[in-house]
Amino acid sequence: MCELLGMSANVPTDITFSMAGFLRRGGATGPHRDGWGVAFYEKEGYREFKDPHPSIASPVARLMLDYPIKSHIVISHIRQANVGEVNLSNTHPFSRELWGRHWCYAHNGQLAGFRNELPLSHYLPVGSTDSEWAFCWLLGEIRRQFPEPPADPHLLQQLIHQSCEKLRGLGVFNLLFSDSRYLYAYCSTKLAHITRRAPFGAARLKDTELEIDFSACTTPRDVVSVLATEPLTTNETWHIMQPGEMVVFEDGEVVAERNSHSTSHPQYS
């Protein structure tokens, strides 16, 4: 299956260290050779780079490692195709507009019967993947229930989690999803995250021989959370998410958590 990478930070931050390990999973340390993509949020601005070629051999991937774009939210995906041809239109992440915001989506997994079980409304897919179809359905459900942004963000969280639970019922559905302020992460089978804050230390990548001392390139107020299908480093403790668990990040912090049986709201601004 595919792999996911995400980041949420309270200051503009580049993700080149994590990308250096993650991109090797696209044909070197992993079998995911069917394209890759990455999206960066810079306040209301949005940049997206996609390539249907393996990330290990992609000139666009090399550009990302040489061009450290600083962002508050990042979503990246490397693809191992199971539904849809290998081409640019089927390459994640996918994006659409709602409420004057860029919404970005990347999915790891496979869904059965999605055309019958997920009727589409406002949004239609450009490509032929189950992933983009599910994105169009999910964003359509949000638009249908909330024509305007809800005053209480927990109502939106509840809808997203309930929708993800329905999608998990169709197969494997691991998700990274953002509206430029919040980063939503939903786990069906595999997803992990780590939050780095002062005092910062060293981190060593699993997929390549690279180590960094974050204390040399951060300030005491920095907070950065990174998510990946599987932990990227060997000397840090990652939180392994459970099936049915959704975590919401804002400015690097976990602001809400939901699972199949209970809900908690650590904080909200």
**Any idea where the domains of the chain sit in the sequence?**
3-264
Which residues face 97 on adjacent strands? 102
- More confident of the two residues 22 and 245: 245
pLDDT digits (tens, 9 = 90+) for 2-14: 899 999 999 999 9
pLDDT for 34: 80
Mean residue pLDDT across the chain: 92
- Please give the share of the chain, as a percent, with pLDDT higher than 90: 78
pLDDT for 84: 66
Task: Over range 192-212, report the average pLDDT.
Answer: 95
Q: Assess whether pLDDT exceeds 90 at residue 162.
A: yes
- More confident of the two residues 85 and 36: 36
- Furthest C-alpha separation in the chain: 53
Task: Over range 70-83, report the average pLDDT.
Answer: 87
pLDDT for 267: 41
Report the number of secondary-structure helices (H) and strands (E) in the chain.
Answer: 5, 16
Closest CA to 156 of 125, 175, 177: 177
Look at residue 244 and give its three-state secondary structure.
coil
Band (pLDDT 50/70/90 cuts) for residue 81 is low
Enumerate residues 6+ apart whose C-beta is below 8 A from 151: none
Q: Assess whether pLDDT exceeds 90 at residue 26.
A: no
Rounded Cα gap, residues 215 and 223, in angstroms: 12
Active site residues: 2
Q: Which CATH superfamily is domain 3-264 in?
A: Aminohydrolase, N-terminal nucleophile (Ntn) domain (3.60.20.10)
Task: Over range 114-133, report the average pLDDT.
Answer: 95
Rounded Cα gap, residues 3 and 156, in angstroms: 26
